[in-house]
Structure 1
Amino acid sequence: MYQQMVFVNLATNDVAASRTFFTELGYTINPQFSSDDCVCVVISDTIIAMLLSRQHYATFTKKEIADSTKSSEVLICLSAESREKVDELLQKAVAAGGTASGETQDHGFMYGRSFDDLDGHTWEVMWMDPAAVQS
């Protein structure tokens, strides 16, 4: 069966700083698709974040590029295997220069927290009890 992939393309003000930030979160970089103008962050086998310099990002769109520190262009939500892993990734993000954002969401069966990366993009990290999603 074909595994569809998701490529999240985001504009960044500093490709090198973004590379360091996401490496410090524990993600790997695919050097084949990285350069001085972009960094390819491997989040999972099917999820890739492409952090592109604003100039390079502009070659893919005629629209104005959002200033993600002032407006929300996208909310990216990643799953985590446990509540502890949610907290662990948030702690890594803050230690790497990110900012905790929003309120902790604790609904018992679902737990989530959010952080903004160096460019202000919001990343949500969420755990849900597998028993709660069984049909």
Structure 2
Amino acid sequence: MAKSIFVNLPVTDLDRSVRFYEAIGCTRDARFSNEKAAAMKWSDTVSFMLLTHEFYATFTPKQIIDAKTTSGALIALSFDSRADVDAVSEAAIAARGRELHGPEDEGFMYSRAFEDPDGHGFGPFWMDVDAALAGMADAREPAAA
């Protein structure tokens, strides 16, 4: 098995959350889904495991936060274009997500931000890596005397 990431998220309404994650491009993996959890594949190596609060609580003795009022993580999602960032953000908003900020364009990077219905934060972005690295190299150059 390739190295993979499974992001476990507590959700209050599993069916609503499945619909939201499908709207932003995930596909449900029925092999790892039931009435307590849904495996939502983002890519070949990244999945979001949506877990009811009761099931999530079996993995930790800690209190489950209310992600609408407390930040526990911000999940950045890379895309191939600015248009893809806009498309997923608009899909998230249409699927009962909440926009956290509209388009931010730094030239070499373009981003937006939204929350799922439970308040988990996502930052879709596109980046021209070569331009970003060139800008960082320029910033490290000592100023001419």
Query: TM class by shorter-chain length?
Result: over 0.9
Structure 2 partner of 1:108 = 107
User: Closer, same or farther in 2 for the Cα pair 1:133/1:5, shift >3 Å?
Assistant: farther
Amino acid at match of 1:33: F
Q: CA deviation at 1:60?
A: 0.1
What TM-score, normalized to structure 1?
Answer: 0.93
Say yes or no: does 1:63 pair with 2:57.
Answer: no
Q: What residue in structure 1 maps to residue 37 of structure 2?
A: 38
Q: Give the secondary structure class of the aligned counterpart of 2:69.
A: coil
**Whole-Å separation in 1 of the counterparts to 2:75 and 2:21:** 14
Consecutive unaligned residues of structure 1, counting only runs of 5 or more, are: none
- Per-residue CA deviation, residues 107-128 of structure 1 (Å, 9 max, x unaligned), is 1000110100010000110100
- After TM superposition, give the deviation of residue 132 of structure 1 in Å: 2.4
RMSD (CA atoms): 1.5
In the alignment, is residue 126 of structure 1 matched against residue 125 of structure 2?
yes
Q: Once the two structures are aligned, what percentage of the paired residues are identical? A: 40
Q: Provide the residue aligned with 2:139 in structure 1.
A: none
Structure 1 position 134, deviation (Å): 6.1
Q: CA deviation at 1:50?
A: 0.3
Equivalents in 2 of 1:79, 1:3: separation in Å? 19
- Per the alignment, residue 46 of structure 2 pairs with 47
Report the AA paired with residue 112 of structure 1.
S
SS of the residue corresponding to residue 117 of structure 2 reads coil
Q: Does 1:78 align with 2:77?
A: yes
Q: Find the counterpart in structure 2 of residue 99 from structure 1.
A: 98
- Deviation of 1:103 after TM superposition, in Å, equals 4.8
Moved >3 Å (runs of 4+): none
Identify the residue that residue 18 of structure 1 maps to in structure 2. 17
Which structure has the greater CA radius of gyration?
Answer: 2
Counterparts of 1:38 and 1:31, CA distance in 2 = 10
List gaps (5 residues or longer) in structure 2.
135-145
Query: How many equivalent residue pairs?
Result: 134
